[in-house]
Amino acid sequence: MKMPVAPVKISYSNPIKEWYETNTQTLQSNNIKGKYEKGMLISISNNHLYHNELVKDFKELYISFLIALTGKKISKWDVRQLQGGWEGDRVKLPTREGLLKLIANKTPVMLCGVHNYKKDDIRSRGKEYCHSHFYIYNADCYLPTNPVELRDKEDKIERHLARYTNLRKRVQGIIRITPVGTGVYQYTDKVSPTTLYEYLQSPITSPQENNVINYIANNRHLPQVQYPLTFIYLNKKL
């Protein structure tokens, strides 16, 4: 009697996951996962600024963020800024492999967006003033895990970004730093190094998904104007 043969299990490889794991074995063993593992959201309630005025300072803001985060000097000539389009794709990114290399090199990357205030908001003053939001991935590589030290670092970041509020003095609550993947986005912000590319492309490929990137992309208080997004990264190792 011929015995039945057990079915052969076929496993499929993920080349993106394999590339990342091969190139980050040392980094993964040394990296302690923490509060900002899925990314950091920075929201700034800018004062009396329009869209174009905000966008022109994005590169300098990114540099200020890196200085606060790492204490290292950053040249603006080493910073690359990719601007999405008013028509077509509102998000422009490096290649998938290029993005993975940035993450493997511990380079923080930033996606920037602009929103209008509500028309009846006192900060709008009837002139369609705007405020800004920033998603940063990979900042956790440089953040302390001790809660007290981490709060000191968050405060340092706020101080370095205060100049972009267009206020004469620092006001509490004008700059808000929060971890991604919490609150209403606890189960929808599924982001990791190997899924980051798709996550950042959410406004193009899955605008209906409830995640932080689509929140940044949606100018909900003036829906007839949807601003392009800006992607910024350091083009060399920190």
Percent of the chain's residues with pLDDT above 90: 74
| C-alpha–C-alpha distance, residues 49 and 127, integer Å | 10
Task: Sheet with 130-137: list strands edge to edge.
Answer: 79-83, 230-234, 109-116, 130-137, 40-44, 175-179
User: Which is nearest to 189 in space by CA: 210, 215, 164?
Assistant: 210
| C-alpha–C-alpha distance, residues 231 and 198, integer Å | 14
Pairwise pLDDT comparison (174 vs 6), residue with the higher score: 174
Residue 211 CB neighbour total at 10 angstroms: 21
pLDDT > 50? residue 30: no
Q: Quick one: pLDDT band at residue 9, thresholds 50, 70, 90? A: very low
Per-residue pLDDT reduced to its tens digit, 174-211: 999 999 988 777 767 889 999 999 999 999 999 999 99
pLDDT > 60? residue 80: yes
Per-residue pLDDT reduced to its tens digit, 155-170: 999 999 999 999 988 8
Domains of the chain, residue spans = 38-234
Q: Quick one: pLDDT band at residue 121, thresholds 50, 70, 90? A: low
User: Which is nearest to 112 in space by CA: 170, 174, 42?
Assistant: 42
Give exposure, 142-153, as e/b (b: 16+ Cβ within 10 Å): bbeeeeeeeeeb
- The reported pTM is 0.85
User: Which is nearest to 130 in space by CA: 50, 67, 204, 73?
Assistant: 50
Query: 204-208: long-range contacts (C-beta < 8 A, 24 or more apart)?
Result: 204/89, 204/90, 204/91
User: Which is nearest to 200 in space by CA: 113, 129, 115, 80?
Assistant: 113
Residue 183 has a pLDDT of 79
pLDDT > 50? residue 8: no
Pairwise pLDDT comparison (190 vs 63), residue with the higher score: 63
Query: How much is the average pLDDT of 137-147?
Result: 96
pLDDT > 50? residue 93: yes
Give the burial class of 4: count Cβ atoms within 10 A of its Cβ; 0-12 exposed, 13-18 middle, 19 or more buried.
Answer: exposed
Pairwise pLDDT comparison (1 vs 128), residue with the higher score: 128
Query: Is residue 175 within 8 Å of 197, Cβ to Cβ?
Result: no
Residue 185 has a pLDDT of 79
